[in-house]
Structure 1
Amino acid sequence: MRFISETTSNGVAERSFTLENIPGVLWSPAEATGGRPLVLLGHGGGRHKKDPRLVAVAHRYVTACGFAVAAVDAPWHGDRPKTEEGERLIADIRERIAEGEPIAPQMARYNAVMAERAVPEWQAVLDALQDLDHVGAGEPVGFWGTSMGSGIGIPFVAAEPRITAAVFGLAGHNGLAEAAARITVPVEFLMQWDDEMVPRDSALALFDALAFQEKTLHANPGRHAEVPAFELESSLRFFARHLLQADTSATAA
């Protein structure tokens, strides 16, 4: 992992890094020392690692709980090169949306291709982050990602035993139900009741597929991009409960 820039604002240090060809960013308390819980953020489709919503989430988690928080550009996003395959998959989805047709099969294919590339990347990034003194191996790790962030995050969390708790949502069961059935950590799940991209019954089916019984459904009225701002505070409480308590228990042990 190579750090290429660092800035500090309101007590939050932001360090941009690269790991091989993966660009990312790490937020942590300024001048932080010693291990701490880590939260990984997965951005949505067409977004990037420094999307304003992700930055707001990261700063809140750092200042309220002292977490380290990291995000990376998913394949074909942000500072990563476009590919013919990625552009074709995106074009198929946009064409279906323009025609007013369901996009579930296209989204399932898109998520599967993305996850095949992104899951091992996230595992490599997690390895490198846990080697840092102010993150540390053995500390609790959370994952937050909605929409495409869930399309990547659900297979990642299903495959990664270091994850302690996760926030998912704005996604349907097509192509994700099997991975969801392998998730054995607490989950907070967001859905928009009037989501124009994810059918209501598909989102509910994905929530139902999550194997672990400690799971909570947060359903709000509105369209795909209209998740209420107060859900940030709910996710903060969720991670504080699971990551900070887990960290205290591990220290005591």
Structure 2
Amino acid sequence: MPSLQFTAESSSNGMIERDFTVGDVPGVLWSPASSGTDRAPLVLMGHNGGGHKKHPSMSGRAQRLTACGFHVAVIDAPGHGDRPRTAHDEQDIAELRKAQATGTQGPVVVRYNARLAELAVPEWQATLDALQELPEIGTDGPVGYFGLTLGTAIGVPLVAAEPRITAAVFGLMWPDAVAEAAQQITVPVEYDIQWDDEIIPREAGLALFDAFASKEKTLHANAGKHFDFPRFEADSAVRFFARHLGRTANSPANSPA
């Protein structure tokens, strides 16, 4: 099993940031500065397509979650962040840009994200194995997952395959490649859509929400287009994880979502 190696550490605003690698996969672990070696729940976060582990949306959500006592971990998806792109990545991205120019990117994104998910799910499982070796996380603590767009494309098959994850927040994704995995998910789910999404049709978002087999699932639908996703939904996610993973929600108001 690949071991976790910390490569850098810094702290600010009550949050410790530690860069790590698990094999050749780079990641970051954010923790409350005051936690020491005390056990705390872990939230795994998947970044958006075209993003990376330290994108402002990731660090902003991490700030909210660590303020409530959670550890938060993000790894770079294949071909993203500090990971090199393969020739296959370059071909898919070129095809995606061409499709975006004509507004027909849906099938291309679905296919591209499905390929990344196939690679990323075992990487996430190896990362979780390694993180649970840390005394401040442990093997018996609760684990959640939070990811939108590409983070959902990777997160749905991950949560379906990984019994250690007991609550998840998803959103903004087509059902095509993930509906079958969603039907295997029974843990509590919070799902976000944009009601006027010009990229992912409303019916597609509703179909994916409907596919989850969870007895407890909540749909959050906000007015606006795809990139109008409101920052306050990050606070809702914190409250969701506080309910299901056992912490008190008291998140800062001004962190990027």
TM-score class, shorter: over 0.9
User: 2:234 is matched with which residue?
Assistant: 232
Q: CA deviation at 1:93?
A: 1.9
Q: CA deviation at 1:136?
A: 1.1
- Alpha-carbon distance between aligned partners in 2 of 1:44 and 1:197, rounded to the nearest angstrom: 15
Q: Where in structure 2 are there 5+ consecutive unaligned residues?
A: 248-257
User: 2:64 is matched with which residue?
Assistant: 60
1:5 partner letter:
A
Q: What is the TM-score when the length of structure 1 is the normalising length?
A: 0.94
Q: CA deviation at 1:159?
A: 0.4
User: 2:21 is matched with which residue?
Assistant: 18
- Alpha-carbon distance between aligned partners in 2 of 1:47 and 1:189, rounded to the nearest angstrom: 20
Counting matched residue pairs gives 243
Q: Say yes or no: does 1:70 pair with 2:68.
A: no
1:192 partner letter:
Q
User: 2:174 is matched with which residue?
Assistant: 172
User: 1:38 is matched with which residue?
Assistant: 42
CA RMSD of aligned residues (A): 1.0
Q: CA deviation at 1:213?
A: 2.0
Q: CA deviation at 1:199?
A: 1.1
Can you list the C-alpha shifts for 1:182-213, whole angstroms capped at 9, x where unaligned? 11100000001121221111111000001112
User: 2:251 is matched with which residue?
Assistant: none
Q: CA deviation at 1:227?
A: 1.1
User: 2:207 is matched with which residue?
Assistant: 205
Q: CA deviation at 1:34?
A: 2.4
SS at match of 1:225: helix
Is residue 190–residue 219 contact of structure 1 (8 Å, CA) maintained in 2? yes
Identity within the alignment, %: 57
SS at match of 1:80: coil
- Alpha-carbon distance between aligned partners in 2 of 1:201 and 1:91, rounded to the nearest angstrom: 28
Q: Which has the higher contact order (CA 8 A, sep 6+)?
A: 2
Kindly report which structure 2 residues correspond to 1:34-183, keeping only aligned pairs within 5 A, or say none: 34-63=38-67, 65-101=68-104, 103-183=105-185
- Alpha-carbon distance between aligned partners in 2 of 1:197 and 1:94, rounded to the nearest angstrom: 14
- Alpha-carbon distance between aligned partners in 2 of 1:240 and 1:191, rounded to the nearest angstrom: 21
User: 1:250 is matched with which residue?
Assistant: none
SS at match of 1:207: helix
2:116 partner letter:
M
SS at match of 2:81: coil
Can you list the C-alpha shifts for 1:195-236, whole angstroms capped at 9, x where unaligned? 122111111100000111210000111121211111111111
SS at match of 2:45: strand
Q: What is the TM-score when the length of structure 2 is the normalising length?
A: 0.92
User: 1:7 is matched with which residue?
Assistant: 10
- Alpha-carbon distance between aligned partners in 2 of 1:40 and 1:236, rounded to the nearest angstrom: 13
SS at match of 2:215: coil
- Alpha-carbon distance between aligned partners in 2 of 1:236 and 1:56, rounded to the nearest angstrom: 12
The list of structure 1 runs, each at least 4 consecutive aligned residues, that deviate by more than 4 angstroms after superposition, is: none
Q: Where in structure 1 are there 5+ consecutive unaligned residues?
A: 246-253
1:190 partner letter:
D
- Alpha-carbon distance between aligned partners in 2 of 1:15 and 1:233, rounded to the nearest angstrom: 23
2:87 partner letter:
E
- Alpha-carbon distance between aligned partners in 2 of 1:10 and 1:95, rounded to the nearest angstrom: 41
Is residue 181–residue 209 contact of structure 1 (8 Å, CA) maintained in 2? yes
